[in-house]
Amino acid sequence: MSNAEAGEVPQMAMHFKKYQEQVSGILQTYATVQDDALLSGFLTFAHSKCIKYVDEAAATAQNNVEPELAQRVMDCCWKNVHYPVLKWFQLWRQHLLTVKVDQKPRIVELRKMNAKLTKFFKIIHKFYYGLLEKLTAEFDLHAIIPEPLLRQLNVQPQAKPAAAAVAATERPVLHKDDPRAVSMMFLIHGCLLNLGSCHRYKSMCEKPQHTTNGAPNVAHFKKSMRYFDLATLVLPSVGELYLQEGLVYVHLKNYGSSTYSFARSALSRLPSSAGFGNFMNSVCERNSKIFNEIVESFHAVHKQATRGQIVNREIIEIYFLVLFGSKFSPALWIGNDQKNLISEVMLSHVQQEVMHKTATRYSKNLQLIFQNLILIIAGFDILKTLNRKSPDLPQAQANEAKYLEFAMDYISNFISSAVTAELTNEKEWMYLAFVRVTECWLMANKTVLHFAHRNINFCEAMMHLMNAIQERTGCRELESGSNHRPHRPYYFEEDVTLREFKPLKYSLSDFKDSDLFNADDASKALIGMVDKKLSKKEEHALRLSAIAVSGKKFLLKNSCGIQLMDKKFVRSAIRTGAAQRLNHRSDGALKALSGPVLFSRNNESETSVASSAKLGGYSGSSVPLAPATLEVRPSMEFTNRNSAEVKSSSSVSAMKPLQVLTGKSDASTSLHSSSPSPSVGESNLKIAPTPSHEMPHMPSGSMINGMVSAPSIRAPPGIPVVNPMLDSHVMSQHSNPAFQMSPSNSPQVQLGPRAHPSAPMVAAPTHDTRQTYEVPYYVNGPQPMMNNPYMQYWPPAYQPVAYNLRQPGQGMPLAQQAAYVPQAGPQNQAYPGNYACPQY
């Protein structure tokens, strides 16, 4: 702002302060001596000064300075001149309604007051419309304000002399890069905003048409709301506009819409401090008038619902406000004390009713449900701002998490019940607009996106919606590999409504609108008033395309096990990308503890999982996937074995678990080996820790030969040796090969499924640290049965049962729970082993 303008603004404000003092004195005199000429003359004088300042604002803007002067002119003209006059008439009417004569309303005085109000209202109304006609006559505004909008204003250019008629055709054209364009926008917006406020006060002073609940009808304020809507199209970044709308809704007792408007006022690009204050008064200020009226309305609706009356809209509006307030300020609302407003039981009932009515009675309340979504988005932004100054940061973060949980439940409920069911409804745009706004909120807020990726209800709702779009509509975004945002020729209704909304980064970003901003008719396209609009079917298809692209991007990074497979999103048991990033540190710790030993089968499964995740994931089947490529091949120990190893395969299979128990290993068998087992495709595999369901690597030939030649092997320290619990009658059943003794003199152990379901266990006894798996050591046991990839899962956090086993030759061990007792006969199955082995 220039020095000249910096001096003009305070000087102008000082002059308007003097005008306010003059009008106050005139109104005090008017209360005793009603001299209309005195007040009319003052208004004429003040209007002439305002027009002078408007001309100065236009001239100052031409010098390429900031347009603060134009904005301050309209604000001062309203606050210091017109607002005191209209407010005085409102107070006069309230006095006439309060003070009665013989218990009768003062009808005659009310009529006289209304006639005088109409007279001065016309003077003020004419001033603002004359200012609009002056601006449209001096400048060509079609480049910044579209012609359809100017036609709705019913502006007729002022009559000019014949000599000036030729000059009228040479009006300067104001483009969007012209320094005077912004000043003209502020002036026109101020005129429309003040016109709407004038109509609001005039409607409040008239006798309204009441609805069933005693509140005035919204049609009584239709002229005021019309000017507010036009002002929104001209300049939606000013929060004062939404504040005035909220005051209208408070007068109509539409507290859901009023709270929504106050939130919009507080979160505009140019926010209103009064809008933020009214929002807090509506939600969490117990001593405010609006808050107490909301609580009274809640109790009235609850009584009507208990009597069986139909209050679907009231529940969606008032019950939702109570639920929203309990999540926004739980310390005030929730509790069983007298100071709290609602109990936990009652809150649960309120939430259940809101979700039920939203899911079943949505067709006639779409506008209200859409406003509730915007209120949820705005509330979280305000809550984060307030929590920055909170002394109890952990409690503030916990409140934010609970708030987001409520938000995801509300959004998921409506998407699952309404949007998916009405997916092919091309006549109503709010179903898809609800999803578009939600997706844009996630893209604009990383905290919400992080929470939504881990919320199962929301991810499943989006999964069903994406699959329904693929199956029931002509949108094929899931089939294409492109993730580019679609283009559109103009803004849709929801885009126009949510322009300059801070939590959404001031615009919906699921369309690529770079060409739209640079178009010649950008002013028309940004308010949805182009000459040739698309059909509802075409708009519906574009919305579906934008939802599919954004939803696909969201679901591909979720951590709830949802993956794209065969052109359809499905639930999978495999962790998705977000979960893998979440557990990256824990995976690294496991690598450091377990070592880099890998089996060829483990490498093969990891490569299959990685390739399937890139191509769409795993369907959740329990059957392992086959290798996706030929890069994974069997280990060289299986393909390049010599004849000696082939001949001694039976001895190898017998000695392999024994080596694990004794802890004897070399460089090729150690769990902390410096190099993994060799394989053909080793260079393409990622080194990872040995999973709990895989056994150590096959010992080398030298180690096997040494172990076979040994006459006997002792049990590791700390592991008692127990005779096998086998009946002599069962041992004599040679038809069952599982009970046939091996000719080897080496002690053997049998591993298999556990005998009964898992249960919490006590800590294991101390044993040799070289032992990998804590298994009781049995002498002369049956042949071990190993099938590593299909072993039962055992949580690694649990430890095996502590056995109180006796020394060899001292009898049988203590009885175990659900112990296996082999019976005679061929129908008996082999006792597979002890269940204490942590198998996978």
Rank 515-519, 574-578, 687-691, 826-830 by mean pLDDT and report only the highest: 515-519
Q: Which of 12-16, 335-339, 395-399, 447-451 has the lowest mean pLDDT?
A: 335-339
Q: Which of 354-358, 378-382, 662-666 has the lowest mean pLDDT?
A: 662-666
| pLDDT tens by residue, 121-154 | 999 999 999 999 998 888 888 888 888 888 888 8
Judge if 508 and 640 occupy the same domain: no
pLDDT confidence tier of residue 592, bands split at 50, 70 and 90: very low
| pLDDT tens by residue, 373-395 | 999 999 999 999 998 888 888 88
Mean local confidence (pLDDT), 534-563? 92
Mean local confidence (pLDDT), 598-626? 42
**Residue 191 CB partners (closer than 8 Å, separation 6+):** 74, 128, 129, 131, 132
Residue 519 lies in a domain: yes
Polymer length of the chain: 840
Mean local confidence (pLDDT), 487-503? 93
- Given a contact cutoff of 8 angstroms between Cβ atoms, the answer to whether 30 and 89 are in contact is no
**How far apart are the C-alpha atoms of 322 and 319, rounded to whole Å?**
5
More confident residue, 645 or 98: 98
pLDDT confidence tier of residue 771, bands split at 50, 70 and 90: very low
Tell me, what's the pLDDT at 670?
A: 38
Q: Which of 339-343, 575-579, 739-743 has the lowest mean pLDDT?
A: 739-743
Judge if 677 and 746 occupy the same domain: no
Judge if 52 and 176 occupy the same domain: yes
Judge if 692 and 785 occupy the same domain: no
| pLDDT tens by residue, 415-464 | 999 999 999 999 999 999 999 999 999 999 999 999 999 999 999 999 99
Tell me, what's the pLDDT at 437?
A: 96
Tell me, what's the pLDDT at 29?
A: 83
Rank 37-46, 96-105, 732-741 by mean pLDDT and report only the highest: 37-46
Tell me, what's the pLDDT at 495?
A: 94
| pLDDT tens by residue, 152-168 | 888 765 544 444 444 45
Name the domain boundary from 580, 601, 630: 580
Judge if 500 and 546 occupy the same domain: yes
Rank 215-219, 349-353, 483-487, 667-671 by mean pLDDT and report only the highest: 349-353
Tell me, what's the pLDDT at 380?
A: 96
**How far apart are the C-alpha atoms of 677 and 638, rounded to whole Å?**
11
Tell me, what's the pLDDT at 429?
A: 94
| pLDDT tens by residue, 724-751 | 444 444 444 444 444 444 444 444 444 4
Judge if 40 and 141 occupy the same domain: yes
Mean local confidence (pLDDT), 676-681? 37
Tell me, what's the pLDDT at 99?
A: 75
Q: Where are the alpha helices (DSSP H) in 235-343?
A: 239-251, 255-266, 273-283, 289-306, 312-314, 320-328, 330-333
Mean local confidence (pLDDT), 77-93? 91
Residue type, position 5, single letter: E
| pLDDT tens by residue, 271-325 | 998 999 999 999 998 889 999 999 999 999 999 999 999 999 999 999 999 999 9
Residue 272 lies in a domain: no
Name the domain boundary from 209, 237, 269: 209
Tell me, what's the pLDDT at 374?
A: 97
Tell me, what's the pLDDT at 58?
A: 75
More confident residue, 472 or 715: 472
Residue 316 lies in a domain: no
Tell me, what's the pLDDT at 79?
A: 92
Pairing label, strands 562-564, 569-571: antiparallel
Global pTM exceeds 0.85: no
Residue type, position 238, single letter: V
Tell me, what's the pLDDT at 674?
A: 37
Give me 706's structure tokens.
């040494």
Judge if 172 and 23 occupy the same domain: yes
pLDDT exceeds 50 at position 353: yes
Any idea which residue has 């996978």 for tokens? 840
Residue 737 lies in a domain: yes
More confident residue, 219 or 659: 219
pLDDT exceeds 70 at position 757: no
Residue 96 lies in a domain: yes
Q: What share of the chain is helix, strand, coil (3-state, %, to 5)?
A: 55, 5, 40
Domain count, the chain: 4
pLDDT exceeds 60 at position 688: no
Judge if 56 and 107 occupy the same domain: yes
pLDDT confidence tier of residue 8, bands split at 50, 70 and 90: low
Judge if 4 and 136 occupy the same domain: yes
Residue 310 lies in a domain: no
Q: Which of 18-32, 85-99, 187-201, 785-799 has the lowest mean pLDDT?
A: 785-799
pLDDT confidence tier of residue 765, bands split at 50, 70 and 90: very low
Mean local confidence (pLDDT), 532-545? 93
Q: How far is CA 236 from the centre of its chain?
A: 24
pLDDT exceeds 50 at position 208: yes
| pLDDT tens by residue, 706-718 | 444 444 445 555 5
Judge if 71 and 201 occupy the same domain: yes
| pLDDT tens by residue, 228-256 | 999 999 999 999 999 999 999 999 999 99
Judge if 186 and 93 occupy the same domain: yes
Tell me, what's the pLDDT at 827?
A: 47
Tell me, what's the pLDDT at 541?
A: 93
Residue 253 lies in a domain: no
pLDDT confidence tier of residue 769, bands split at 50, 70 and 90: very low
Tell me, what's the pLDDT at 725?
A: 47
Q: Long-range contacts: 413-416, Cβ < 8 Å, 24+? A: 413/355, 413/358, 413/359, 414/358, 414/359, 414/362, 414/369, 414/373, 415/461, 415/462, 415/465, 416/359, 416/461, 416/464
Q: Which of 396-410, 468-482, 549-563 has the lowest mean pLDDT?
A: 468-482
Q: Which of 23-32, 109-118, 791-800 has the lowest mean pLDDT?
A: 791-800
pLDDT exceeds 50 at position 753: no
**How far apart are the C-alpha atoms of 479 and 796, rounded to whole Å?**
40
Give me 648's structure tokens.
């001694």
pLDDT confidence tier of residue 36, bands split at 50, 70 and 90: confident
Any idea which residue has 């977000």 for tokens? 578
Mean local confidence (pLDDT), 86-107? 82
For 721, the enclosing helix (H) or strand (E) is: strand 721-722
More confident residue, 291 or 681: 291
pLDDT confidence tier of residue 508, bands split at 50, 70 and 90: very high
The DSSP secondary-structure symbol of 825 reads S
* Burial class of 273 by CB neighbour count within 10 A (0 to 12, 13 to 18, 19+): exposed
CA distances from 98 to 250, 487, 548, 659 (A): 21, 59, 59, 100
Residue 657 lies in a domain: yes
Average pLDDT for the chain: 73
Judge if 528 and 439 occupy the same domain: yes
pLDDT confidence tier of residue 101, bands split at 50, 70 and 90: low
Mean local confidence (pLDDT), 215-226? 86
> Which residue range forms the structural domain that includes residue 142?
1-209
Name the domain boundary from 580, 606, 624: 580
